[in-house]
Amino acid sequence: MSETEIARPASRRGGSRRGEMVVHAVLILGAALMIVPFIWQVLTSFKTPNEVASLPPTLLPTAPTVHAYATFFQTVPFLRQFMVSVSSLVMRVAGQLFVASLAGYAFARLRFPGRDLVFTLYLLMLMVPSQLFLLGQFEIMKELGLLSKLPALAIPGMFSAFGTFLLRQAFRGLPAEFEEAARLDGANTWQVFWHVMLPMARPMIAALAVLTSLYSWNDLLWPLIVTPTGANRPLTVGLAAMQGQYGTDYPTLMAGALVCLAPLVLVFLLLRRQFFAGIASSGLKG
Amino acid sequence: MSTATRVPVRRRVRRTGTPTPTRRTRRRTDWWAVLMIAPATLGLAVLYLWPFLETFLKSFKGNALFGPSKFVGVQNYSNLISNDAFWHALRNSMLYTALVLLGVPLAVVLAALIEQVTRGRTIYQVLFFLPVVTLPVAIGMVWRLILNGDFGLLNWVLSRLGIPGEYWVADARLTIWAFAAVGIWMGLGINLIMVLFISGVSAISPELYEAWALDGGGRARQFRSITVPLLSPTIFFVVILTVISALQMFDLVFIMLGSVNNTAIDGSKTIVYLFYEAAFVQFKQGYAAAIAVVLLMVIMAATAIQFRLQRKWVVDV
């Protein structure tokens, strides 16, 4: 940021201090609207159910209690669901990065019969909403006996036309010189890919990793339908189920929601750049 | 080597845009490539292409729970269009989409404002992005509380301003509006980052603004006359993505109403909620498949219409 900030003031046609204060005021108001729900969530989680339903609402908890957190951890197998969320995320991301970078590189740099036709099919697949795949994917998981098992959560997401497309663009944007030099040194295609091109594509791969993690962590519909018995439910489905059970016990719900949303928010604060790059690349044009 | 004659050199250069391919890559089929695309292609064929075709076929079949279903022609579709619930869900999804689109200009204005400030840009980006990395389930839960008609925060704030509150998530006439408000709140960060980062506001040449300032142009008109036209390709893209994802909205309905047995669910279903219910609650797979196919057609039509309209407002940069 600092680099752009130094370069910027000259470009900003000498904006007045007053003008900037007004802009800040508007932005702060907007930002406040973004975080009020989170603050409300935190405050509510320390109240009692009775206090939540009282009128007029109290802003700060009158008698702060961690009872809601205790209820949440006692009744919800948080650790197990957390591990399910994490392991399905790792499987999905690792699988997708591997599969998509292989294919992305081949589509970007190699020649083979039918390449353009196959790639067009990939592009067509990008446009189809996921609901068109759900029935068939569910059936396959059922046939394989994977319902309510961990791999079922991750497998479909390991194959992604979008991920392949994104990495193809990344590989296409890389200079050819290194590749040529490696080939002249006698490297075969695999070696060129693994030792030369893959490391160079790292920023985009990181962006895809972050984006895929986001989808995996937040996904609700697919885990909801492939875990009919309740075993191996990830956090999203667990939280939704908890809501059915504790419909009006808002402090417990808020405590649970906070505990479940915290991990990814922390990761986001650490890997902000990659998150932004991932989101920006999701709108990348071909 | 034999393929060398089959593939004209010029074609390769044009298709891939790779600068000066080596003689080697140009000349022969690389069998490594086939190995490399195999995992992705097989996976997509089995887990995406086949289910897609299967769903399409299923939409013309009956809803037998066990054993093979018989072909029933277009009966699922005729059931669908003669069902009020379907039209209601379609209306809900379209209303939701139209309302959520209001979030796009909001994101553009915010992006332009963030570009104006010298300090705290990163903090604003992070704050606006926070809902994007938050579980939609958690978002649905907290908004269900805030929008509660009896003791929700919103109604309390409104009452302080002298505005009567409403049962935002218990009155089926209002639920879609409530979902849309939450949807805009949730999606603002994504749209903002896309406008800022893909050929975004910061890419607009400062000289352009300076020239504009020298000519005595004001800020508001600068925004309208320079920023928006130059961003229009990006805005167009954000609009396309917003429409596609809004037409597939499911999470909020499920979290805020479905999973808590709120009676307002009946008037608040979206197309994808209807699909979910048909497929995985009522186990009417043929019917569900027909819903999914209709959804695909709606999305394709919406996208096609936008590409048509685009000629009117998107500036070729």
Residues A29-66 pLDDT 10s: 999 999 999 999 999 999 988 888 887 888 888 888 99
Question: Percent of chain A, pLDDT > 90?
Answer: 58
Candidates B117, B260, B303; nearest CB to A20: B117
Contact flag A33-B259 (C-beta cutoff 8 Å): no
Q: Is A4 exposed, middle or buried (0-12, 13-18, 19+ CB in 10 A)?
A: exposed
A127 neighbourhood in chain B, CB within 8 Å: 299-300, 303
Reference B275, options B13, B85, B40; nearest CA is B85
Q: Smallest Cβ distance to A172: which of B18, B56, B248?
A: B18
Residue B6: what pLDDT? 43
Decide if A102 and B238 are in contact by the 8 Å CB cutoff.
Answer: no
ipTM of the complex model: 0.85
The string of DSSP letters for A96-151 reads: HHHHHHHHHHHHHH---TTHHHHHHHHHHHHHS-THHHHHHHHHHHHHTT-TTSHH
Q: How far is B210 from chain A (nearest CA, A)?
A: 6
pLDDT of residue B154: 93
Measured in degrees and rounded to the nearest 5, phi and psi for residue A159 equal -110, 120
Chain A residue numbers touching B254 (CB-CB < 8 A): 220, 224, 240
| Cβ(A11)–Cβ(B206) below 8 Å | yes
Of A31, A108, A280, the CB nearest to B193: A280
Residues of chain A with Cβ-Cβ distance to B130 below 8 Å are 34-35, 38, 265, 268
- Confidence class of residue A127 from pLDDT cuts 50, 70 and 90? confident
Report yes or no: A109 and B25 within 8 Å, Cβ to Cβ: yes
Question: What pLDDT was estimated at residue B65?
Answer: 73
**Across the A/B interface, how many CB contacts are shorter than 8 Å?**
342
Q: Are the beta carbons of A110 and B36 separated by less than 8 Å?
A: yes
Domains and CATH numbers, chain B: 2-58 (no CATH), 78-313 (1.10.3720.10)
| Assessment of whether the complete model's pTM goes beyond 0.80 | yes
* Of residues B36, B52, B118, nearest to A133 (C-beta): B52
With CA atoms as reference, report the closest residue to A164 among A207, A219, A221, A102.
A102
Q: For chain B, give me the number of helices (H) and strands (E)?
A: 17, 0
Return the pLDDT at B1.
Answer: 37
Nearest CA in chain B to A227: B280
User: What tokens does A44 get?
Assistant: 């509510």
> Over 50: is that where the pLDDT of A250 sits?
yes
Option in A103, A239, A240 nearest B40 (CB): A103
- Give the SS3 label for residue B261: coil
Which of B34, B109, B134 to mutate to probe the A interface, most A CBs <10 Å? Answer: B134
The sign one gets for the Cα dihedral B76, B82, B85, B90 is positive
The CA dihedral of B168, B171, B176, B177, to the nearest 10 degrees, is -40
Cα separation of A197 and B84, whole Å?
Answer: 55
Residues of B in contact with A284 (CB under 8 A): 198
CB B149 within 8 A of CB B167: yes
B38-95: pLDDT as tens digits: 999 999 999 999 999 999 999 999 887 777 778 888 999 999 999 999 999 999 999 9
Mean pLDDT, residues A177-190 taken together: 90
Give dist(CA A264, CA A211) in Å, integer: 12
Tell me if A125 and B241 make a contact (CB, 8 A cut-off). no
A111–B29 C-beta distance less than 8 A: yes
Most confident of A82-91, B194-203, B303-312: A82-91
- Where in the sequence of chain A do the CATH 1.10.3720.10 domains occur? 73-281
- pLDDT digits 0-9 by tens, B26-53: 557 788 899 999 999 999 999 999 999 9
Look at residue A284 in the predicted model and tell me its pLDDT. 58
Chain B: closest CA distance from residue A44 (Å) = 9
Structure tokens at A265: 């928010």
Half-sphere exposure of B64 (CA within 13 A, CB side): 9
Backbone angle region of B282, left / alpha / beta, with phi > 0 → left and psi within -120 to 50 → alpha: alpha
Amino acid identity of residue A190, one-letter, is W
Q: What are the phi and psi torsion angles at B71 (to 5°)?
A: -70, 135
Task: Check pLDDT > 70 for residue A5.
Answer: no
Report chain B's mean pLDDT, rounded to a whole number. 85
Whether B219 has a pLDDT exceeding 60, the answer reads yes
Q: Which pLDDT does position B5 carry in this prediction?
A: 39
pLDDT score recorded for residue B12: 43
Residues A34 and A45: their CA atoms lie apart, in Å, by 18
Residues in A touching B40 (Cβ below 8 Å): 99-100, 102-103, 159, 164
Whether omega before B105 lies within 30 degrees of 0, making that bond cis, reads no
Per-residue pLDDT band for A93 (boundaries 50, 70, 90) equals very high
Q: Is there a contact between A31 and B21 if contact means CB atoms under 8 Å apart? A: no
Q: Is the pLDDT of residue B298 over 80?
A: yes
The two structure tokens encoding residue B18: 């790779």
Q: What percent of chain A has pLDDT over 70?
A: 93
Mean pLDDT of chain A: 87
Contact yes or no for A269/B126 (Cβ under 8 A): yes
- The chain B residue lying nearest A161, using CA atoms, is B44
How would residue B200 be classed by pLDDT, with cut points 50, 70 and 90?
low
Q: Mind giving me the DSSP string for B43-108?
A: HHIIIIIHHHHHHHHHTTB---SSSPPPB-TTHHHHHHHT-HHHHHHHHHHHHHHHHHTTHHHHHH
Task: Give the sign of the dihedral formed by CA B27, CA B32, CA B36, CA B42.
Answer: positive
DSSP string, chain A: -HHHHHHHHHHTTT--HHHHHHHHHHHHHHHHHHHHHHHHHHHHHTS-HHHHT-SSPPSS-SS---HHHHHHHHHS-HHHHHHHHHHHHHHHHHHHHHHHHHHHHHHHH---TTHHHHHHHHHHHHHS-THHHHHHHHHHHHHTT-TTSHHHHHHHHH--HHHHHHHHHHHHTS-SHHHHHHHHTT--HHHIIIIIIHHHTHHHHHHHHHHHHHHHHH--HHHHHH-TTSTT--HHHHHHHHHHHSTT-HHHHHHHHHHHHHHHHHHHHHSHHHHHHHHHHTT---
Whether the predicted pLDDT of B197 surpasses 50: yes
- Whether B255 sits inside 8 A of A116 (CB atoms) is no
* Cα–chain center distance at B25: 39
- CATH C-level class of A73-281: mainly alpha
Q: Does B309 touch chain A (CB under 8 A)?
A: no
CB A284 within 8 A of CB B236: no
Facing residues of B71 across strands? Answer: B61
What pLDDT does residue B11 have?
A: 42
Residue B231 C-alpha, separation from nearest chain A C-alpha, in angstroms:
14
Torsion of CA B1, B2, B8, B11, to 10 degrees: -70
Top residue of B35, B76, B145 to mutate, by most chain A CBs within 10 Å, is: B145
Partners of A275 on chain B (C-beta within 8 Å) are 129, 132-133
**B76, HSE (Cβ side, Cα atoms, 13 Å):** 29
Q: What is residue A10's predicted lDDT score, i.e. its pLDDT?
A: 39
Residue B5 to residues A140, A171, B201, B212, Cα–Cα distance (Å): 43, 27, 47, 56
Per residue in B151-184, pLDDT (tens digit) is 889 999 999 999 988 899 888 899 999 999 999 9
Q: Is B59 on the interface with A (CB under 8 A)?
A: no
Tell me which range, A85-89, B134-138, B190-194, is most confidently predicted by mean pLDDT. Answer: A85-89
- Residues in B closer than 8 angstroms to A23, CB to CB, are 113, 116-117
Task: With a cut of 70, say whether residue A227 has pLDDT above it.
Answer: yes
User: Which chain B residues are Cβ-neighbours of A190 within 8 angstroms?
Assistant: 32
Residue B67 is which amino acid? G
Say which of B30, B49, B156 has its CB closest to residue A110: B30
> Could you tell me if B61 lies within 8 Å of chain A, comparing CB atoms?
no
Residue A281 pLDDT level (bands cut at 50, 70, 90): confident
